[in-house]
Amino acid sequence: MKKLKQVVVASAIVVLASFSAFAQKGTVKGNVKDKEAGEGIPFLSVYVQGQASGTMTDFDGNYTLELDAGTYELVFSSVEYGKTNKTVTVVAGETQTLDMQISTSSVEMNTIIVKTDKYSKPIEEVVSSMDIIKPNIIENKASTDVKAALEQAPGLTIVDNEPQMRAGSGYSFGAGSRVAVLVDDLPLITGDAGRPSWEFIPVENIEQIEIIKGASSVLYGSGALNGVINVRTAYPKSEPLTKVNVLAGVYNGPKNEQSKWWDSNIPYWTGVSFLHSRRFKSAPEKKLTSSLVLGGNVLYENSYVGPAPVDPDGKISAISNGWNKLLNNGTFTPAQYEDSLKTLGETKRGEYDYRGRLNFNTNFKANKVKGLAFGLNGNFSYGESGGSLLWLNNYTGLLKPYPGALTITKQTIFSIDPYISYFDQKGNKYSLNTRVFYQDNDIDNNQANKNTVYYGEFRYMKAFPGIKDFTLSTGAVGTYVVASSQLFAGNYTQSNAAVYLQLDKKFWDRLTLTAGGRWEYFNVGGDGIATETSNQPIGRLGLNVRVAKATYFRASFGQGFRFPTIAERYIETTVGGIPITSNPSLKPEKSWNLEAGVKQGLKIGKFLGYLDFAGFVQQYEDYVEFIAAQWLDPFANPFFGLAFKSVNTGKARVSGIEATFLGQGNFTDDFGINVLAGYMFARPITLTPDYAFGKKYKTDGSGEELTYLNTSTDTTDNILKYRYENLVKLDLEFNYKKASAGVSFRTYSFMKNVDAFFYDTAPLKGLYAKPYRDENNGMEYVFDFRISYKVATHSKISFVLNNALNREYSLRPLVMDPPRSYVIQYSLTL
């Protein structure tokens, strides 16, 4: 009995001690909502200031914290909503409710959220250079695709549909982009040529465009050798949204009246785009909560580039030779030249573009499995277009194609994107994103091609609540391409597999460290060729330090790797009479990128922005260039054996500096401003100017070796071909009550170096690059203006004047850019 009493007493002491300990603790619980949307914010961190431990809100924004009695500073934190502090006093043994309503306006500087590392973070904390384009530029410029907006980005130029980032690439006939183009982290590059599909991007539903600069292959793969353009679409908000834009535009006559080919039939375009976005509210007992985005556009354009001469009897050669005599003080006059051209027939039409697109995004959230979401996205497009590679001549034919250079394309594209993701309260996020991307180009001149890309990426991300500001990202990627084409004269397959890992840790709320690696594997094979494989490990390191309240210093090192596309290796075709020939032995190119920069945040009233300065250097091995030279038999081919070919040219380096200013907001209740401005200076050079990358054609193989030195028009400082060394960009928009006005300004330094073949070979030297470039060897500049007025609560009318000074300019030799144009747009938003 005595022993039993001792046990009872001991047990009572333990119970009382436990109760006493419990009594010293209290509970804080509540719900955190978005102040504007009125909905719970999921997966938001809740912790005590100065402590690493805490909790996360659930899928509906609820949280619970158990703390010792006392007074605490609670922090409610996420990237999108910044940090909001609230003082709370915990009473032992009691439970109290602390509900919060917060908004993105709580964030002082980091209102711009990016996904440079495949999860959200403030732009000032990234370790690489990045620019953001907001959708107001796209809509207010009455853009029918994203290219016009991208042209305003510092350090980026779109030349013949090819994105050139910091002079890292030149002209390549649209094959083998060194910049990855993504929509919501899914690649939008064709499987056979590696070409961006700009018209396929849903411009009516863009939240923002993120432009990441420098080698980004660790997270984004082979195509991101020079950077990434990631278009983020908008999710449905709490209220349904419907938008309709209707526009029409006409081209002005060119500055050079002699090159105007139309009389009363003025080139024009018209189009309409629409968007409907909504959430479907669901009772708690329902299994799913869903949302839908539906959008599309239609465009009808007759271009400023007119009909091409038809030369069935070969008369154009004699006419061209006569024109050369005129240029060499001969007796062939311009009038005779024009009369000679009139003896030729013409195609029925010049360049044109007729297309339509329809896309949808769906999202379903499981109410009984918190954090589970899945959906299906789709995009469908059909179009017919006529495009040309070369102008007719640099006198009266600037706006007409050379005979045979006008190509007619009927294009069908679609993508189907199933996805699923799961995010638990322990900071684990699992996602599987897949895509089937199909493209069929029915092209005349024996250039038809089709390809299908099967893509899948499994991604795992972990935020550790017990280890403050530590995130792990890892994933596996698989791509399989099936391509068949008259361009390649056969059927080909290419497969790619990759795994990647990246770690991010923030120390002392000031220093962010990033480290990552990727292993990439490629396999390509096809009709009549041996299967070839290649693999490459690459890595990246970076840091970002907050050195003052809104001053951030960053430095990064990254490696890049790009495997050649099917088109670069195996293409065999003729465009505008100029052959493009294959190079099956083309090797992958590698690079490393080093960058340092500083970002200074700015806040003036409600105006938020930043100034950014960066220095960069990127060095390449087995650098791939698209070279025009005498690759073929001069007696059996036109233009004396001229052809284009992708070749490895040895080592190259691009170094330079860049400055960017971005900001948006209001100075008063009625007056606001949006600004994006930048300057880039780049020095793109070859490090191996005497490297022999091939030989001129000779039947016995003894032709002269081809190098940078003997295939360039200007070898001063070893500048690479088709590059711009200086770019200045500015987009400025003023908003006052219901009205807004904006101006865009772009300058491009003279493209010093192009392929020598266009200077040295008749008839090209007479009709093409050299005479025009000799007369137009200064900096090109272009002004665009726009105004808009909100005529009613839901409607707005806009007027846009592109190339306001009607400048005659050619960003890519042998093709003229658009003359002045006038656009009117009506926008309805409900």
Q: Give CA–CA dist 91/99, Å, rounded.
A: 17
pLDDT at 531: 81
Which helix (H) or strand (E) segment holds residue 570: the answer is helix 566-570
The matching CATH number, chosen from 2.60.40.1120, 2.40.50.100, 3.40.640.10, 3.40.50.1010, for 24-106 is 2.60.40.1120
**How is the chain split among helix, strand and coil, in percent rounded to 5?**
10, 55, 35
Percent of the chain with pLDDT over 70: 86
* Residue 372: closest CA among 309, 316, 425: 425
Q: Is the pLDDT of residue 364 over 80?
A: yes
Directed axis angle between helix 334-342 and helix 315-327, to 10°? Answer: 170
- The lowest-confidence range among 655-669, 759-773, 784-798 is 759-773
- The lowest-confidence range among 395-404, 520-529, 717-726 is 395-404
Higher pLDDT, 21 or 642: 642
pLDDT band per the 50, 70, 90 thresholds, residue 134: confident
Residue span(s) of the chain under CATH 2.60.40.1120 come to 24-106
Asked if 420 contacts 394 with a C-beta cutoff of 8 angstroms, the reply is no
Cβ neighbours for 638, distance < 8 A, ≥ 6 positions apart: 577, 578
pLDDT at 87: 86
Compute the residue count for the chain. Answer: 830
Query: Three-state SS for 530?
Result: strand
Q: What is the pLDDT averaged over residues 666-674?
A: 86
pLDDT at 79: 55
Look at the alpha carbons of 12, 15, 20, 23 in this order and tell me if their dihedral is positive or negative: negative
pLDDT at 703: 85
pLDDT at 689: 96
Report phi then psi at 794, rounded to 5.
-115, 5
pLDDT at 648: 96
Q: What is the pLDDT averaged over residues 468-492?
A: 86
Fold of 113-308+347-686+720-783: Maltoporin; Chain A (2.40.170)
Q: Give CA–CA dist 801/820, Å, rounded.
A: 7
Higher pLDDT, 40 or 821: 821
Asked if 369 contacts 375 with a C-beta cutoff of 8 angstroms, the reply is no
Higher pLDDT, 193 or 230: 230
pLDDT band per the 50, 70, 90 thresholds, residue 110: very low
Residue span(s) of the chain under CATH 2.40.170.20 come to 113-308+347-686+720-783
Asked if 223 contacts 188 with a C-beta cutoff of 8 angstroms, the reply is no
Residue type, 145: D
Quickly tell me which residue has 């050139």 as its tokens: 164
Q: Give CA–CA dist 303/261, Å, rounded.
A: 12
Q: Is the pLDDT of residue 480 over 90?
A: yes
Q: Give CA–CA dist 619/623, Å, rounded.
A: 9
Q: Is the pLDDT of residue 319 over 80?
A: no
Q: Give CA–CA dist 221/93, Å, rounded.
A: 54
Higher pLDDT, 773 or 474: 474
The 10s digit of each residue's pLDDT in 717-735 is: 999 999 999 999 999 999 9
Q: What is the pLDDT averaged over residues 310-319?
A: 56
Query: Three-state SS for 784?
Result: strand
Query: Three-state SS for 8?
Result: helix
The 10s digit of each residue's pLDDT in 444-476 is: 777 788 999 999 999 998 877 667 678 888 999
Q: Is the pLDDT of residue 8 over 50?
A: no
* Residue 132: closest CA among 148, 117, 154: 154
Per-residue b/e over 578-616, b at no fewer than 16 CB within 10 Å?
A: bbbebbeebebbbbbbbbebbbbbeeeeebbbbbbebeb
Asked if 162 contacts 636 with a C-beta cutoff of 8 angstroms, the reply is no
